[in-house]
Amino acid sequence: MFRTLIATVATVATASGAFAGGHSELLSKSWDEIVAQAKEEGQVSWFVWYFQPRYREIAKAFTEEYGIEVVIPEGTHEGNIEKFLAERNRDAGDIDVLAMGTDRIDLFDPTEMALGPLTDVLPEAPNMRTELGGHDGLGYAFGYWGNQTGIAYDPNKIADADLPQTIEDFEAFFAANPGAFGFNYENGGSGPSFFQNVTRNIINAEMDDWLSGEVTEDRMASLKPAWDWFLDHTDGYVITASNTDSLQRISGGEFTMVAAWEDHLYGLQVKGEIDDRIKYYIPEFGMNGGGNYNIVPANAPNPAAALVFLNWVSSAETQTAFNQVFGAAPMHPNADDSKALVPNEMRQYSTIWPGNPFNTEIRQAFVENVVLER
Amino acid sequence: MRWRRTLLILALLTPGLGVILLMIGSVFYVAVMQSFGYYNLVGEDSFSLEHWEKVLGSKQFSRSLSYSAYIAVVAAIGSVILAYPIAIWLRRPFRGSLAISAVLKAPLFVPGLVASFLFLNVIAFHGVVNQFLMWIGITDEPIRMQNDRGAWGVVFLQLWKNMPFALLLLTGAVQSISDEVLDAARDLGAGSFARFRKVIAPLTVQAMQAALIIIFIGAAGDFAFQVTAGPTNVQSMAQYMVFLKDSFGRWNQAAVVGVSLMILALFGSLILAFISSVVLKSGNKW
Amino acid sequence: MVSLADSGATVAPKKPTRRAGALNRFLMIVLMTIVAIWLIVPFSMAVLWSLVDPETGWNYPDLLPPSLTHLRWVEVWTTTALPQAIANSYMLAPTVAVVTLILASPTAYCFARYDFAGKGLAQLATLLPLVVPGFVLAIFFSSLIFSLGIYSRFLSILMAHCVLFLPYAIRIMTVSFGQVRQDLIDAARDLGASPLAVFRAAYMPALLPGILASLIIVFIQSIEEFAIAFIVGAPNFTTIPSILYSYLGYNFIRPNAAVVSLILVVPNVLLMLGLERLLKSANPAQTGVKG
């Protein structure tokens, strides 16, 4: 029995992609037929890892339009993705639409594990973005959410004119205000965006070279001046537990500035969770912007409803709603993007994430060379 | 006869131990194999020692291992040391002992994350503790107590959460010691500490070991307290494992940390239980 | 606190003298004060946070929230999956507790009352579920369950939780079975008692505290468990910890987290008070069954 069980696990774990394309006949149907089938399915589960209660509110518009119930389970980013990976060999999984940060698309092969390509299937596809933040969704993954990292600040403690814009400005700020700046290195990418861009400036890397995902010993060794910089200024900054921890603590009056996501701060301010006095800027030395993808797993239990939902999420109306409720950057050209925390001219300082594996290697190097050495 | 006895023992073990071996055995096997490059969620399988070499060679691993071991030892021994006197005090019921016992055990029913949340609220930069310290003039500036370097926050939370658990186990054991035995010891002139060392400790050693083992393992694998209240310049083993897996998708390396964590939990707790029994049983010669 | 309670231990005699009675009262007052600080202050902060008005917030340097409202409670109750999650968790946990106890008892009995070759190893092996990290266990457990063709979420989590918490039940019940006195069993048998009567006279008094302790521990563990409940249970079977993780993680919103925390904790504490009473009444020292 024990051996049988192990053998079963082994089979499951090794035989991959067995059901990819299981719904391929669906993709050849007309959109009207897909919508009809979707209504028959009657339900769609969207696995998204943040702001679930408010997504449930917004999704009521979808239910009204199509009569399809939307289930948005609680769950974490990694938990959702792991579930997706673990369930890939089931005939029908539990996930209809899966949201993920764009960089997670590197974890698996979307052409095997996702339904698609959808470029000729979804009516909104011409307006949807499959290339986002330096990643390519290949027509299987589509952006539904744009976001930007930057720095949240407390105007009671620092004037707009004094905001640090360069590495030298930060050195001066650290010297004058020890322990008044906070950022995280895990649980969210705003901190990593900060130390990546500091590193890029300190080693004077050309942007094209910097964005390459290549990892060599020489390249990692060349980052040392940046690690020395962080170690020289340990009194200047505080490492926080997460993005949210940073924002809670700046709102509570503990910090003057923290690294943060624009949409995250906006969403919390709309709900009154973070004080409205907190403002936001993108420093001139650059901070990363990116977005989130949606995919439909190849074994989605309600594939037609998933496609209709994917199309709806990416539509101009929904994207406008996302901008108004969350401050997210719309992914649709016709959507209204008037709600944002930073003026448009500041967006010129937005940079993108370097490719993998460098993007992950630099984060681990930061832990090894700075966090553990502090 | 021997046959029947063996069969009886096997039959008794099947629903408990058998089920564990069947289910956990296969999961355990998969985790170990994964650390050697098999059972990848995505990608090709092949035998490799590379993941072990990479992880064991990193500074972060040794820091995490010793940190988790430290927290686990402090949590296990600290909880038992705090719980023993209270268990003995509450051995005989008196007016209000029920209420005390109930209140003391309340943290047992507070999930770890909630405990962290409550704790962080209280020690926040402008939280009630800092306001109080400033009000009575001990400090002019709020003290930054969150995620302290010395891991005092984590230790406090571990004790807060686990002392009641040790108390639960020890109370039962201490109460089953008959008054006659304790009276006899008193009549023979044993002082209070001698009575503890020579009578109570040896008779409750099983319950104490149970408490030590379970608390050690729980604390060694702690994730919730460390992530919320722990120092940010070191990671616990569980946190390190999740960090490798979540931030980098390095499943095989995470499996290495996971397997190491299992080894730490298993052997660390057994060593602790063994030492404690040697120490306590040495007093059982009167 | 150690020294205080310690001195209490040294003077607790068989029949409290007046001096000891006064000391007990004093110790009780001191202890209750400490406990009040370690329970009442954190929880009242949570209650305050749960009542913060979203319109005005509660930010430094306000000493108290400028205005209070119960809107958060309504909002959390109506927009989250909390009501369903509470129903799920409180259906799952008692079932897990009972099934685990039933599975654990024969093995515990065997460990406590039989000596056999490899017993030490067997006892070690029961700890296996404790040393497998939660998420690793959850992922491969779900793979295992799917490959076995079990799709009932409730049943799957039930199975996983039982296996995961068996070590606690086995350990506790082994201690309990070890405290059953052989002379009582022999005496009862010599008096010609039926097996049921022997069980009631000799086993039950020693076992009851262990049974209750095991039920409580497993119940709490099951209520709190996140990794398996989430991975195996998603999406239709949401438990309270899944919701809590969402509120304390990415969506960390202090007032809403306070609401969810309180909703999660208050029934637990009430339950504990009831069980504490049960545990007390099952105490052999009080029910007159003495050695």
pLDDT band for position C286 (cuts 50, 70, 90): very low
- Answer yes or no: is B46 within a domain: no
Provide the domain count of chain B: 1
- Chain A residue closest in CA terms to C231: A83
Q: Check CB contact under 8 Å for C32 and B103.
A: yes
Q: Are strands A279-281 and A287-295 parallel, antiparallel or unpaired?
A: unpaired
Mean per-residue pLDDT, C234-261: 74
Hey, of C1, C47, C127, which one would you mutate to test binding to chain B, going by the most B CBs within 10 A of its CB?
Answer: C127
Interhelix angle for B59-89 vs B251-281, to 10°? 40
Hey, of A58, A74, A83, A325, which one would you mutate to test binding to chain C, going by the most C CBs within 10 A of its CB?
Answer: A74
Distance from CA of B72 to the nearest CA of C (A): 13
Mean per-residue pLDDT, C195-207: 85
Of A286 and C270, which is predicted with more confidence?
Answer: A286
Residues of chain C contacting residue B15, judged by C-beta atoms under 8 Å apart? 102-104, 106-107
C144 touches chain A (CB under 8 A): yes
- Answer yes or no: is B30 within a domain: no
- Distance of alpha carbon A156 from the chain centroid: 30
Residues of chain B contacting residue C208, judged by C-beta atoms under 8 Å apart? none
Distance from CA of A318 to the nearest CA of B (A): 30
Q: In this model, does residue A320 exceed pLDDT 70? A: yes
Q: In this model, does residue B252 exceed pLDDT 50? A: yes
Q: What's residue B64's pLDDT?
A: 94
Q: In this model, does residue A348 exceed pLDDT 70? A: yes
Structure tokens at B42: 């995505």
Q: In this model, does residue A148 exceed pLDDT 80? A: yes
With pLDDT > 70 as the criterion, what percentage of chain B qualifies?
96
Instruction: For B24-34, write each residue's pLDDT tens digit.
Output: 888 878 778 88
Q: What's residue C280's pLDDT?
A: 57
Phi, psi of B49 (to 5 degrees): -95, 0
Q: Is the dihedral of CA B186, B190, B191, B194 positive or negative?
A: negative
Mean per-residue pLDDT, C122-149: 74
Cis peptide before C16 (omega within 30 of 0): no
Q: What's residue B135's pLDDT?
A: 83
Q: What's residue A95's pLDDT?
A: 92
Contact between residue A54 and residue A325 where contact means Cβ atoms under 8 Å apart: yes
Amino acid at A189: G
Of A9, A57, A71, the CB nearest to C143: A9
Q: What residue has token string 């007052």?
A: C29
Q: In this model, does residue C257 exceed pLDDT 90? A: no
DSSP chain B: -HHHHHHHHHHHHIIIIIHHHHHHHHHHHHHHHHHTT-S-SSS-----SHHHHHHHTSHHHHHHHHHHHHHHHHHHHHHHHHHHHHHHHTSS--TTHHHHHHHHHGGGGS-HHHHHHHHHHHHSTTSHHHHHHHHTTS-SS----TT-TT-HHHHHHHHHHHHHHHHHHHHHHHHTS-HHHHHHHHHTT--HHHHIIIIIHHHTHHHHHHHHHHHHHHHHT--HHHHHHS-TTS--HHHHHHHHHHHH--HHHHHHHHHHHHHHHHHHHHHHHHHHHHHHHTT---
Q: In this model, does residue B188 exceed pLDDT 70? A: yes
Neighbouring chains of B at 3+ CB pairs under 8 Å are A, C
Q: Check CB contact under 8 Å for A78 and B245.
A: yes
pLDDT band for position C152 (cuts 50, 70, 90): confident
- Distance of alpha carbon C164 from the chain centroid: 14
User: In Å, what is the CA distance from B219 to each residue of A171, B76, B156, B254, C130?
Assistant: 39, 8, 12, 19, 11
- Answer yes or no: is B240 within a domain: yes
Of B147 and C101, which is predicted with more confidence?
Answer: C101
| Among the ranges given (A44-48, A124-128, C174-178, C225-229), the one the predictor scored with the smallest mean pLDDT | C225-229
C80 touches chain A (CB under 8 A): yes
Taking any CB pair shorter than 8 Å as contact, residues of chain B touching chain A are: 21-22, 25-26, 29-30, 39-42, 45, 58-60, 63, 124-126, 142, 144, 146-147, 227-228, 232-234, 242-243, 245-249
Mean pLDDT of chain C: 77
Of B6 and C18, which is predicted with more confidence?
Answer: B6
Q: In this model, does residue A11 exceed pLDDT 70? A: no
Q: In this model, does residue A267 exceed pLDDT 90? A: no
User: In Å, what is the CA distance from B225 to each residue of A64, A241, B228?
Assistant: 43, 11, 5
Q: What's residue C252's pLDDT?
A: 67
Contact between residue C266 and residue C290 where contact means Cβ atoms under 8 Å apart: no
A85 touches chain B (CB under 8 A): yes
Amino acid at C112: A
Q: In this model, does residue C12 exceed pLDDT 50? A: no
Of A74, A90, A248, the CB nearest to C246: A74
Q: Check CB contact under 8 Å for C107 and B82.
A: no
Q: In this model, does residue A350 exceed pLDDT 70? A: yes
Contact between residue C72 and residue C54 where contact means Cβ atoms under 8 Å apart: yes
Q: In this model, does residue A1 exceed pLDDT 80? A: no
Q: What's residue A14's pLDDT?
A: 40
- Reduced to 3 states (helix: H, G, I; strand: E, B; else coil), residue A257 is strand
Residues of chain A contacting residue C80, judged by C-beta atoms under 8 Å apart? 52-53, 74
Of A109, A253, A371, the CB nearest to B233: A371
Of B85, B91, B112, the CB nearest to C5: B85
CATH number of the domain residue B250 falls in: 1.10.3720.10
Neighbouring chains of C at 3+ CB pairs under 8 Å are A, B
Q: What's residue C105's pLDDT?
A: 94
Structure tokens at B166: 């040790």
- Residues 6 or more apart whose CB falls under 8 angstroms from that of C251 comprise A50, A51, A52, A53, A244
With pLDDT > 90 as the criterion, what percentage of chain A qualifies?
53
* SS3 readout for C129-187: HHHCCHHHHHHHHHHHHHHCCCCCHHHHHHHHHHHHHHHHHHHHHHHHHHCCCHHHHHH
- Chain B residue closest in CA terms to C64: B128
pLDDT band for position C13 (cuts 50, 70, 90): very low
Q: How far apart are CA B29 and CA B27, in angstroms?
A: 5
Q: What's residue B218's pLDDT?
A: 85
Instruction: For A173-231, write each residue's pLDDT tens digit.
Output: 999 999 999 999 876 789 999 999 999 999 999 988 999 888 999 999 999 999 999 99
- Chain B residue closest in CA terms to A81: B246
- Answer yes or no: is B22 within a domain: no
Question: Structural domains in chain A?
Answer: 24-146+291-326 (3.40.190.10), 148-288+343-373 (3.40.190.10)
Q: In this model, does residue A19 exceed pLDDT 70? A: no
Architecture of domain C81-287: Orthogonal Bundle (1.10)
Beta-carbon neighbour count of residue C166 at 10 Å?
Answer: 30
Structure tokens at A170: 């930060």
Helix (H) or strand (E) holding A44: strand A43-47
Structure tokens at C3: 């020294």
Q: Check CB contact under 8 Å for C250 and A49.
A: yes
C89 touches chain A (CB under 8 A): no
State the greatest distance between any 2 C-alpha atoms of chain C, in Å, as a whole number: 76
Q: What's residue B286's pLDDT?
A: 39
- Answer yes or no: is B127 within a domain: no
Instruction: For C27-75, write each residue's pLDDT tens digit.
Output: 778 877 877 777 788 888 888 888 887 777 676 667 777 778 888 888 8
Of B234 and C11, which is predicted with more confidence?
Answer: B234
**Burial grade of A29 (CB within 10 A; 0-12, 13-18, 19 or more):** middle
Amino acid at C127: L
Hey, of A157, A254, A358, which one would you mutate to test binding to chain B, going by the most B CBs within 10 A of its CB?
Answer: A254
Q: What residue has token string 């949807």?
A: A128
Mean per-residue pLDDT, A262-287: 90
Q: How far apart are CA C52 and CA C71, in angstroms?
A: 9
Amino acid at C271: L
Amino acid at A317: E
Phi, psi of A71 (to 5 degrees): -105, 120
User: In Å, what is the CA distance from C259 to each residue of A51, C46, C70, C263?
Assistant: 17, 8, 10, 6
Can you name the residues that pair with A240 across neighbouring β-strands?
A: A184
Q: In this model, does residue B243 exceed pLDDT 50? A: yes
Q: Check CB contact under 8 Å for B22 and A241.
A: no
Q: What residue has token string 């994207």?
A: A319
User: In Å, what is the CA distance from B245 to each residue of A185, A311, B189, C14?
Assistant: 15, 31, 60, 57
Q: What's residue C72's pLDDT?
A: 83
Mean per-residue pLDDT, C8-13: 39
Q: In this model, does residue C88 exceed pLDDT 60? A: yes
A74 touches chain B (CB under 8 A): no
A92-101, A331-340, B238-247, C249-258, range with greatest mean pLDDT = A92-101
pLDDT band for position C203 (cuts 50, 70, 90): confident
* CATH 1.10.3720.10 domain position(s) in chain C: 81-287
Q: Check CB contact under 8 Å for C241 and B262.
A: no
Give the burial string for A335-355 (b: 16+ CB within 10 Å, else e): bebebbbbeeebeebbbbbbb
| Among the ranges given (A138-147, B83-92, C218-227), the one the predictor scored with the smallest mean pLDDT | C218-227
Mean pLDDT of chain A: 87
Q: What's residue A51's pLDDT?
A: 82
Q: What's residue B271's pLDDT?
A: 93
Q: What's residue B43's pLDDT?
A: 66
Q: What's residue B95's pLDDT?
A: 74
CA-closest candidate to residue A183, choices A166, A201, A172, A170: A170
Of B266 and A47, which is predicted with more confidence?
Answer: A47
